[in-house]
Structure 1
């Protein structure tokens, strides 16, 4: 079986990162009214998608399943780190960027949202690449 190596287009994935950030910020904006369930979880799902796209930028030749595992490990690590409440880490969390990246308190629902976001992004990534692979 020949393995086709496809290198991701970095510009496309940077665009996906930026669009996902914009959607995430809009999901938290007061002037956008979303259904309550979507308003509650959209930000976490989009954050995880952004993590997936960033890993695509860092490892453009990696298989989708590798990127998926990396993004899940990173996201779950961030969430699990919220169980550790050292003062220096809480000081970082109380900055705007620290709050966006590290969050504040552990929630099991966040792990579910991260899984949904990453698996959704992985599905889209896999589907796009599958269409590019020449049939043999």
Structure 2
């Protein structure tokens, strides 16, 4: 499999999940990173599982541009793995940024790493 094919097949799902993680974090700023991660992952899994349901009304929503982007079209196990990687990337980045900023906020700890 070429790199372009890999990116086309999997990167979009990981970026979508990262966007969900960032959206949950922006909406609920006081929540812990762990809680944001859990809620984002739960949301993504629920959306993916909803793709197993095909009633006319939800298929109509999926046929619109926004509905297709949010709800997707068909269930794939690989999407769940991509979601986990995308959300993990956001959680790890947030953890690293928060731990770096907390060290720089404390002058004693910043002077003695």
Output the TM-score relative to the length of structure 1: 0.72
**Which residue is 2:65 aligned to?**
96
Q: Secondary structure at the match of 1:65?
A: helix
1:34-73 mapped onto 2 (5 Å cutoff) = 35-73=4-42
How far apart are residue 61 of structure 1 and its match? 1.3
Q: CA deviation at 1:36?
A: 1.4
- 1:1-136 paired onto structure 2 within 5 Å: 35-133=4-102, 134=105
Partner of 1:51: helix, strand, or coil?
Answer: helix
Residue segments in structure 2 that go unaligned for 5+ positions in a row = none
User: Partner residue of 1:23?
Assistant: none
Structure with the higher helix share, 1 or 2: 2
Q: CA deviation at 1:50?
A: 0.2
* Larger Rg belongs to: 2
TM-score under structure 2 length normalisation:
0.86
In structure 2, distance between residues paired with 1:81 and 1:126: 31
Q: 1:86 Cα deviation (Å)?
A: 1.0
Aligned-residue offset at 1:37: 0.8
RMSD over equivalenced CA pairs, Å:
1.2
The ranges of structure 1 where at least 4 consecutive aligned residues each deviate by more than 4 angstroms after the TM superposition are none
